[in-house]
Amino acid sequence: MKKLMTGDEAIARGVFEAGVKFAAAYPGTPSTEILENLSEYDRKDLVAEWAPNEKVALESSIGASVAGARSFASMKHVGLNVAADPFFTAAYSGVNGGLVLVTADEPGQFSSQNEQDNRNLAKAAFVPVFEPADSQECKAMVVEAYDLSEKHDTPIIIRMTTRVCHSKGLVEIEDRNEVGIKKWEKQPQKYVMVPANAKVRKQFIFKRMDDLYEYSNNCKWNFAEYNDTKIGVITSGDCYLYAQEVFGKDASYLKIGFSNPMPDELIREFASKVDKIYIIEENDPVMETHIKAMGIECHGKDVFPRYGEMIPEVIRNSVFGTEIAIDQDAKDVMINRAPTFCAGCPHRGFFYTLGKKKNIMISGDIGCYTLGFGPPYNAMDMTLCMGASVSMGHGAAQVFSMDENQDTKVVSVLGDSTFFHSGINSLLDVVYNNSSTLTCILDNRITGMTGQQENPGTGLTAQGVESNEVDIETVVRAIGVKNIRRINPNDLKEVEEALEWGLSLDEPAVIITWWPCALKKQSEEDKANFPNSFQDKYTVDESVCIGCRKCTKTGCPAISFQTEKKKSSIDINKCVGCSVCAQVCPVKAIGKVVK
């Protein structure tokens, strides 16, 4: 049977068919849907978990592998930075049950803070890499990766990219292979990575890569397709499909689906049969550098951009200097739309108030709330990576305290899932070093940005099992913070008072905003804790409205300004009743819709 699947769905299916028993992940676009699909399987077959961060996810999977089960972890590309510590050493210790890790890279940076190519990390760690081009390859490569992992005693990376993750293709559905759980035996020389053991295992790594070199040159994933030999394209992943769309039968192709170690023998043979070679890859010149080091003349980043996606338009323009004509009629009606908080987002009232504060630096983090940096709030001054808001804010506050002429206070802002991810460690630093920062934890009761995933603060696991709900306030107090307030972020007066309180202190303080994401499917607990949430609608009384546009400065997409009438209006179909607009209206022209 065949089924239309995205790459992420196909990866999940491959994990299931390969007989995997344990999977863990931290949500991050474009990898999120892998674990979401795995969570649909019965826990008797496969346990799927959201971990607090990527390091924990990979370490859990490594432990499951050592215990004898086939295991799996997935994350977006920057997540592998977080998981790099266990990743590099797991290459030394190897596996018992097979271990596969998906890194979902993002050429083009559609929802990421950087554009990194994790083939570089795999090469540095001596970990084999598969690069699927479509959904069928995603599933098939996962299944083979587990056999390869166990045969060669190694973790395996499957390097995905955004379009492979989210594009759909037909996938052959097969039965699950129940491989069982291997026996665990004490092997401290293999799994205890003290220097004496690690030195021996490092020698094993080189022998393993030699064995995998033979596999790379003979596996079905690396193959040549000969057409016109004036042009030869060496490529991997979805770039293979892009190149075919541009060159068609006017070029020959060497598709590399298993890229570490590289298939040198295949490359030499292919190079001997074509006149001019193009290396098309996303993003870094990993293959190009390797092939040039082999003494083979080729063109890569001297022709193609070093950043962004190598989609057909880019390849065509780079090689032939031609572009697809723009539909001018469509262009004329298209307008730029800045990203914004959803109607009823609990972050809106908080940032509306915070953005009005003077003499503060706002240290932001990774989440929906990062949108607070833009207009109309302009309430974020720096954002780096998960959990960095608190630690960056601490460093800035320490410097400001050294300057007698500086009266700037620091506000660090992060979400609930980000707090559990790595914000806890940063807050420990603040408490330990007695920082004067104000930390604001925006608890919207779910992992919002990546699509409503559970986290340690929601009370449910990835597979819907009730669990111990970790209370943020209790954790913050246990760390040693004495000054804590929990507030309703939709109450602007309460937000204002809390911010003034926190900024007046010369020791660590934490404000926890507590209100569910407007898109969250409310649990019974949510209904009990927030009984009046999302029940009301608001409207503008045009006879009272003075056209001051103050309500539009809340940034709510439900509010628009009617230029011809010089009056504001609210789309009742978008409004979810947060009441922020009603609170900022100076003439009380906004009120509840009478039911």
pLDDT in tens, 241-282: 999 999 999 999 999 999 999 999 999 999 999 999 999 999
Q: Quickly state the pLDDT bin for 325 (edges 50, 70, 90).
A: confident
Q: Quickly state the pLDDT bin for 25 (edges 50, 70, 90).
A: very high
pLDDT of residue 335: 76
pLDDT of residue 332: 76
CATH number of 347-529: 3.40.50.970
Question: Contact 116/77 with Cβ under 8 angstroms?
Answer: yes
Q: Does domain 538-592 have CATH number 3.90.1150.10?
A: no
Question: Contact 307/140 with Cβ under 8 angstroms?
Answer: no
pLDDT of residue 53: 97
Identical fold for domains 2-218 and 347-529, yes or no, is yes
H-run or E-run covering 561? strand 559-562
Q: 201-211 pLDDT, tens per residue?
A: 999 999 999 99
Alpha helices in 159-298 (DSSP H): 162-166, 188-191, 195-218, 239-247, 264-271, 286-293
Residue range 2-218 forms a domain whose CATH class is: alpha beta
pLDDT of residue 533: 85
Q: Quickly state the pLDDT bin for 522 (edges 50, 70, 90).
A: confident
Which residue type does 65 have? S
Mean of the pLDDT values across residues 217-234? 98
pTM reported for the whole predicted model: 0.94
pLDDT of residue 323: 81
The residues spanned by each domain of the chain are 2-218, 222-320, 347-529, 538-592
pLDDT of residue 521: 87
Longest Cα–Cα distance in the chain: 82
| Residue 339 C-alpha from the chain's centroid | 17
Q: How far is residue 520's CA from residue 522's CA, in Å, rounded to a whole number?
A: 6
Give SS3 for 240: helix
Instruction: Please say if the pLDDT value at position 192 is more than 90.
Output: yes
pLDDT of residue 79: 97
DSSP annotation of 537 reads -
Q: Quickly state the pLDDT bin for 412 (edges 50, 70, 90).
A: very high
Q: How far is residue 541 from each of residues 547, 556, 587, 590, measured CA to CA in Å?
A: 11, 18, 10, 6
Angle in degrees, 0-180, between the axes of helices 84-93 and 54-66, rounded to the nearest 10: 20
In this predicted model, which residue has the larger pLDDT, 383 or 535? Answer: 383
Give SS3 for 47: strand
pLDDT of residue 337: 76
Residue range 222-320 forms a domain whose CATH class is: alpha beta
Q: How far is residue 138's CA from residue 2's CA, in Å, rounded to a whole number?
A: 14
Q: 569-584 pLDDT, tens per residue?
A: 999 999 999 999 999 9
